[in-house]
Amino acid sequence: MADQSIIRITKEIGELQKSSDLSLAVAFRDRDVRNVRALIIGPHETPYEFGFFEFSVKFNKDYPRKSPSVTGITTNSGRCRFNPNIYSSGKVCLSILGTWRGERGEEWSAAQGLESILLSIQSLMSSNPYENEPGFEDANELQDKKNQKDYVAKIRHESLRISVIQRLEEYLGINNTSAISQQSPEQRDYDLDIDDDVEVDDASIPWEPFKDLCKRRFLWYYDTYLESIKKAKEEVKDDQAFVRMPFEGASNSMEGKFNYTELEQRIRRIKKAIDAESDRWAVEGGSARTKDATVAVNLARQFEQIKESFKRSEVPHNIELVDGNPFVWSFTHFGRPMTNLDGGMFRIQLNFSPRFPEEQPRVKFLTPIFHHRIAADGTPCYFPNPSRREDVRQHIDAIIEALEEEQPPYDPRTLVHPEAHRLYWGNADQRKVYNRQLRRSVQRSMEEI
């Protein structure tokens, strides 16, 4: 029975890791498949939008006959209740987990699995989470309507502050006085140890399986975060206190004050730090190259193979190493004839980490282009084959596919350029405006030659 349980868990993890669902990610450490970390990215048009919410999933030996236990990790050290059903203690109230009394047929069954659990949790992250609290499902009174608005407002602020900004600052080693003052003494001590360059045993360093993913997604959603801040500034004032909800208790609530001015400063600082990190990779890579590091040799070999394949291809492409560094590639894509990209020349740079493929490449269009899958700073939203993350050709092909795809399915999780996204998925007149903007950027690319 135990072996069957392990097989089932491993299969479910593998399917999720190969999935094209951009809002879910799972990982486990070493061979311990019974202890899984899961990341849920907050849904579009909710106060959780593009937040990074992490959960611990522990499978018992009776799985799938019995459901696993799930605990929320993104709680600001137990001080933030992100949802009526997601407590500050990390408890997740769901009937399929046996943590909430549901209707008949809503209990756990062996037909369910890890993905259905994560999707159920994600469904709690709605546009109006106030209604998730029992007894408040049909709240129609004037005070209830005000509470709904106030509840959404503070969740939006804390989702950005805690799940995005605080998480990325910790990943990047950015000191933020107000954030540190809100941490537990143990966490403050740990952060100070790391920042002071004190040697730490690898075993004591927290396991962060989603660090690279969150950094890359931050670059995708950076402009959306800024738009959200701009809109929120019109609705609430700095230093305005959060309103406590009727169902919130002293030890299970979301307390604090709004301060979007500070959040904007912090989010811009994170963006600069990630960009600087990409630049450091080139320097680190150059050093690794001189030592014939395995990653450098691998990238150099892949570069020669891809360059040779492009020479034999009918599609014109140009690819070079920047300053001979195998960790920095320059790729020029020529727009296909009879498309909106016809005649365009787009220079794209790929920066590789000395820890590739553990850290995936940072890609940027150096040639400005107005495109719904390319952020204003040139960061493309593309999807390489998850099972071949070490194959650079997969990345290049996926970048080209994202750029040239003529009839992409609507997916708000690819919202990396807010203005272009709205126009592209708008009405017929808005699509015409989008096409004109795209053609102008294509023409400008030709003028720069």
pLDDT (tens digit, 9 = 90+) per residue, 325-376?
Answer: 999 999 999 998 888 899 899 999 999 999 999 999 999 999 999 999 999 9
Q: Is residue 384 part of a domain?
A: yes
This prediction's pTM: 0.90
CATH number of the domain enclosing 46: 3.10.110.10
pLDDT, tens digit (0-9, with 9 covering 90-100), for 378-437: 999 999 988 889 999 999 999 999 999 988 999 999 999 999 999 999 999 999 999 999
Q: What is the pLDDT of residue 136?
A: 62
Instruction: Provide mean pLDDT across the span 150-170.
Output: 97
Contacts of 171 (CB under 8 A, 6+ apart): 208, 211, 214, 215
Residue 444 has pLDDT above 50, yes or no: yes
- Same domain, residue pair 64 and 211: yes
- For 137-175, b/e burial (b = at least 16 CB within 10 A) is eebeeeeeeebbebbbbbbbbbbbbbbbbbbbbbbbebe
Q: What is the pLDDT of residue 137?
A: 57
Q: Is residue 145 part of a domain?
A: no
Q: What is the pLDDT of residue 198?
A: 32
- Show the CA angle centred on residue 205, arms to residues 194 and 253, nearest 5°: 85
Least confident window among 52-56, 70-74, 281-285: 281-285
Q: Is residue 137 part of a domain?
A: no
More confident residue, 135 or 163: 163
Peptide bond before residue 326 is cis, with ω within 30 degrees of 0: no
Residue 66 has pLDDT above 90, yes or no: yes
- Same domain, residue pair 218 and 296: no
- Same domain, residue pair 264 and 340: no
Residue 196 has pLDDT above 70, yes or no: no
Least confident window among 138-142, 213-217, 246-250: 138-142
Distances (CA, A) of 306 to 355, 357, 391: 21, 17, 10
DSSP string, 52-68: EEEEEEE--TTTTTSPP
- Same domain, residue pair 176 and 111: yes
Q: What is the pLDDT of residue 102?
A: 63
Range of the domain at 208: 2-132+150-275
pLDDT, tens digit (0-9, with 9 covering 90-100), for 6-59: 999 999 999 999 887 889 999 999 889 999 999 999 999 999 999 999 999 999
Residue 213 has pLDDT above 90, yes or no: yes
- Same domain, residue pair 238 and 299: no
At 341, list the tokens. Answer: 């990209």
Contacts of 88 (CB under 8 A, 6+ apart): 75, 76, 78, 79, 80, 81, 251, 252, 253, 254
Q: Which of 194-208, 292-306, 360-374 has the highest mean pLDDT?
A: 360-374
Q: Is residue 285 part of a domain?
A: no
- Same domain, residue pair 229 and 346: no
Q: Is residue 251 part of a domain?
A: yes
- Same domain, residue pair 240 and 206: yes
- Same domain, residue pair 309 and 387: yes
Residue 231 has pLDDT above 50, yes or no: yes
Query: pLDDT-derived band of residue 212, with 50, 70 and 90 as boundaries?
Result: very high
Q: What is the pLDDT of residue 58?
A: 97
- Same domain, residue pair 370 and 229: no
At 410, list the tokens. Answer: 């609507």
Q: Do residues 121 and 57 lie in contact, with contact meaning Cβ atoms separated by under 8 Å?
A: no
Q: What is the pLDDT of residue 186?
A: 34
Which residue's structure tokens are 């069957």?
A: 4
- Same domain, residue pair 82 and 230: yes
80, 93, 214, 381: the catalytic one is: 93
Residue 312 has pLDDT above 90, yes or no: no
Tell me how many domains the chain contains.
Answer: 2
- Same domain, residue pair 330 and 267: no
Residue 180 has pLDDT above 60, yes or no: no
Three-state DSSP state, 79: coil
Q: Give bridge partners of residue 329 from the DSSP assignment.
A: 321, 350
Q: Is residue 63 part of a domain?
A: yes
Query: pLDDT-derived band of residue 132, with 50, 70 and 90 as boundaries?
Result: confident
Phi, psi of 2 (to 5 degrees): -60, -45
Mean of the per-residue pLDDT values for the chain? 89
Establish whether 93 is a catalytic residue: yes
